[in-house]
Structure 1
Amino acid sequence: MTAPAMATEDMVRAGTRTGTDAPAGGDTPQGTGTRTRDLRQLITYALVGGSGVLLDLGAFLLLYNVAGLHEQVANVLSTSLGITNNFVLNALFTFGKRDRLLRRYLRFYAVGLTGIALTFVLLAVFSRGLGIDPNLVKAGSLPLVLVFQFALNRKWSFA
């Protein structure tokens, strides 16, 4: 596909038309359908993310508080569990992609590693540096990581 054709296709998916008769704001029936699909996708992603957050946080609490693992080790293990859960559910329900699963999983996991790195830094700064309870730091980091990862996964892992 040529670059102009790809750009036109992207604009159509974004809810805009290329002609001069396009209403402002992409208020075409096609644009409305695109926005509805995008909203549905975001809601599903958030629900899937919520299940991953609960799994991640629950595993972290068990690994750190019960098993006595170091907070950084507990974070890597719990986040990896959440990432894998979210990949499977997003592939099936959010993005409906069942092709190139290994490639998509590796990309999804790479995005997940950014979340591990971000949480690692937050734990180091706020828990080790400022003495804030690691449980609170971990819980507080989750919404920030979720939003960041949605943008990356939508544009890269499930494109």
Structure 2
Amino acid sequence: MNNWEIYQLINPLSLHRLWVLISRLIRFAIVGFSGVFVDLGGFYFLHGLLGLSLTTSAIISTELAIINNFIWNDMWTFGDVSTPKNLVTQQVQKFGKFNLICLVGMLVNVAIVNFLVNKFTMNAYMAKLIAIICVTFWNFGINLRWNWQIKYTTES
């Protein structure tokens, strides 16, 4: 590590950017955690109370959680860099990207769980927890760069 890299690590501006990044990640995780309750609550309502099929209930409740997470992330996690609310087209595009990122995250999640369970005979719940953690970082990083377009550079 050279002097410039050390300076960048202790530079107050760099520390501020790091804190902002960590703060966003924490808010992103809290929003994601709230989405678990929306998903489970919606699933219970749709499947348990309304009697919709398992697959239909799972799809709708997952999409409800994605909508919940998008709204809260747009208002709270990335509220300081969000698109002005009057630009509906940009909001719809951002929501579409968010959905796509979540879909890819879901596929990554399933792949990680299957890999850990089948290759290492790991407990399925432990594998799921590891997959959730990995996908949280994936979803956060991709949304940070692609959807809310925040770039942290050494010049800024």
Q: Comparing 94-103 with 66-75, which one deviates more in the overlay? A: 66-75
Counterpart Cα distance in 2 of 1:34 and 1:27 = 11
Does 1:105 pair with 2:88?
A: no
Specify whether residues 21 and 143 from structure 1 end up closer, same or farther in structure 2 by C-alpha distance, changes over 3 A only: closer
Does 1:158 pair with 2:143?
A: no
Q: Give the structure 1 partner of residue 104 of structure 2.
A: 114
Counterpart Cα distance in 1 of 2:100 and 2:94 = 10
Q: Number of residues paired by the alignment?
A: 126
Structure 1 contact 79–116 (Cα < 8 Å) conserved: no
Q: Is the partner of 1:23 in helix, strand or coil?
A: helix
Does 1:143 pair with 2:128?
A: no
Counterpart Cα distance in 1 of 2:51 and 2:107 = 21
Q: Give the structure 1 partner of residue 10 of structure 2.
A: 27
Q: Is the partner of 1:43 in helix, strand or coil?
A: helix
The two structures have a TM-score, normalised by structure 2, of 0.65
Segments of 5+ residues of structure 2 without an aligned counterpart are 85-89, 115-123, 150-156
Specify whether residues 147 and 156 from structure 1 end up closer, same or farther in structure 2 by C-alpha distance, changes over 3 A only: same
Superposed CA RMSD in Å reads 3.0
Correspondent of 2:30 among 42, 47, 54: 47
Q: Is the partner of 2:51 in helix, strand or coil?
A: coil
The two structures have a TM-score, normalised by structure 1, of 0.64
Q: Give the structure 2 partner of residue 10 of structure 1.
A: none
Deviation at 1:24, TM superposition (A): 5.8
